Structure 1
Amino acid sequence: MKRAPGPNGNLIWGSLSEFKADSLGFLSDAVRDHGDIVRLRFGPVTAHLVNCPAHVEHVLSRNAANYDKNTRSAGRIAATTGDSLLSGNHNAWKRHRRLIQPVFQPRCFDDIGTVIDTLVDPMLARWKNAGTIDIVDEMMQLVIAVAIKVLFSSDIDPQRINLALETVLADTWRRIEAPVDASMLSARFHRSQFKSAVATIDDIVIDLIQSRRKTCKRPDDVLTRLLAAHELEGEAGLTDQELRDAAVTLLLAGHETTANALSWAFIHASNGFDSADPANIFAEAIRLYPSIWVIERRAIQSDKIGGFHIPSGSSVLISPYLLHRHDGYWPDPERFDPSRFDGDRPRARHAYLPFGLGKHRCVGLYLANTIATKIIERVFAQFCLTLCPGQLLETQPGITLRHMAPVRMQVETRYKKHL
């Protein structure tokens, strides 16, 4: 079988330095120069970037049994989340998925609108006299507060846990990019900031779990449902460690991704789209800026994709960021246009995957969409937002697709805007 084309890179580290310098730019150039299947080398790691819906479906759905999460990225993430939905393989992943998926059914969140309103109201009241805001920080603080209420019904300080999560995410991405890191030898060699951040998260989450186990009066939230989930399946209950891994995974995956995408939604919708359907605004924001911008899998057995050889043990990379900008499937792909998601507009199958695809599709899809849509609706019902001039809007790829810097927006009450 043929070997896929790709950049040569240098003799020892391949294209690692180019990837570290500008991940999105490097991958964008790779598909532009070599096509929708690109062979990449990062030191000893061989990876194939696939950027076609049919090939994506092959890896994540049709032939998913041949592609697992025994990857460099999942291994680094597991230092924080353990054998959870993000990083677990085989039986561990199946057990978590079987127990967690039922507690994320839409019917479990019938009262979420009230939870969101309770937290949005004071934010909007503060905006009335704010003049300008940092939309990135505002959304991060709001969404982590919503996540804490929905997951734990708790009054945990959002800032405390958010700072710890930021440290964990930054250090995890550093270790993914680093060709060699001492923590690969032993967890004892993790950086002190990382260990301190994980300890902070553990103190909060494990205390909640142990307190919840001791009481008979449990609030109706995700943690309570997880505690009871095993009873529905007739199997051993989740241990404290499993509950901790699940809770930390949901915090990491649930707040950062939604908050980043909401910031982009407000930034772009301020250009005359604030009256569009809130669901469409959010859908278009996560098309252009999918928080999970790259997905990695490992080929268990050799395979063939698009006529090219995929060696066993090599990585396969899928970038929703690139796929969502593919001009073969999205007309004028760089343009923000919420009407793309009107109900009668056709779209290419599997060309849109902000929440993944196949059996690993995000369990929190409904929850994220519901939270984001409600927040957009509440904000634009009361305020007009305008991007302050002179700012450079840049992305910062890491574990999630973050904002490179704060983004200042002017807020003005809607009735004043029309006087």
Structure 2
Amino acid sequence: MKFDTKSIHAGANGNNPNNALNPPIFQTSTFVFDSIDQVKKVMAFESDDYVYTRGNNPTLRLLENRMAELECGNAAVAFASGMAAISSTLFSFLKPKDTVIVHKTLYGSSFNVVTKVLPQYDVNYKVVDMTKTDELEKVIDANTKVIYFETPSNPNLSIVDIKKVVEVAKKNDIKVVVDNTFATPYFQNPLEMGVDVVVHSATKYICGHGDVVAGIAVSKDVDYINTLKFDYMCEFGGVMSPFNAWLLLRGLKTLGVRMRQHEANAMKVAKFLSKHPKVKSVMYPGLEEFEGHEVAKSQMRGYGAMISFEIDGDLETAIRVVDNVKLIKLAVSLGDCETLIELPAAMTHSGYPKEELVKFGLTESMIRISVGLEDSEDIIKDLENALSNI
């Protein structure tokens, strides 16, 4: 099946109660048994029956199966949030004295987990520019167990060459974890390039409607996914609700359609911004002049809908822009039908040290846009009006 078909049908067994077209929400915490013999079989994984929703649930299982197929994996774990998926995956691979290497530009909360939380458990970290593979190779040592990055990265859209990083990692027996939130499985499948685990903030494009907080981890290694689910997701308790899983299944039905329109709008917005006299630079992988364009073109099937840009001014000038949009909404998050705008240094990435922003690929005057599904002319007109205030 092609992507649009799989996003609607993958993982379903066709046995919905009362011949319902859509799967029901199994809104239950507990499942009952006919006998102790049945309990033994379930506990020994000799049966696909359910025990307790913290471990599994029919609605969650359908979502996990569908996401596994869309990401070209063999199994997945649903989490209560993207950060639950990211932190649990990192904890599952790391122990005291180990080292994780991360790309210099990460989502703010991911950066905080790596630089503030993991060190409390005696886990070390190194930050490197992974767009330069030779720099990555220089910092690897015997304690390095995980390489973690986003591509495109949040918020400067830097592109990491997945195949090159995997090649370096495999030579050193290191696990590679990639956050695929910006690209979605519609535009990119890191598992097909040798990555060990793909994580998503499903809150974003997987949902698409701004009404769910959720996360997903996908791998080709079924044994690892079972460990991640039962030793980490279950025990840490980052459990997705059946209702949220159902909402994500609904969102997935239109993922391909939405991503095509998101990208079409983003390309028009990016070209508008790149020609505007008050815009200093535009960060969008779809622009030929963008530094990571060729790598993105080689490993992605499209360029997504996230744009960051630098205005010709300082922080106060950037604030004036975001304060003067009307149609576009000032908010954190991304991937919704609505176009959203924010200042990363003051919002999603406020945990980064202000005096070192440039080192991490950020500036105080950087503006990030999640281009939505409104008419592109309306989005551009709103930006044009806001930019006229500076």
- Which bracket does the TM-score occupy, shorter chain normalised? under 0.3
Structure with bigger helix share is 1
TM-score (norm 2): 0.26
Q: Which has the higher contact order (CA 8 A, sep 6+)?
A: 1
TM-score (norm 1): 0.25
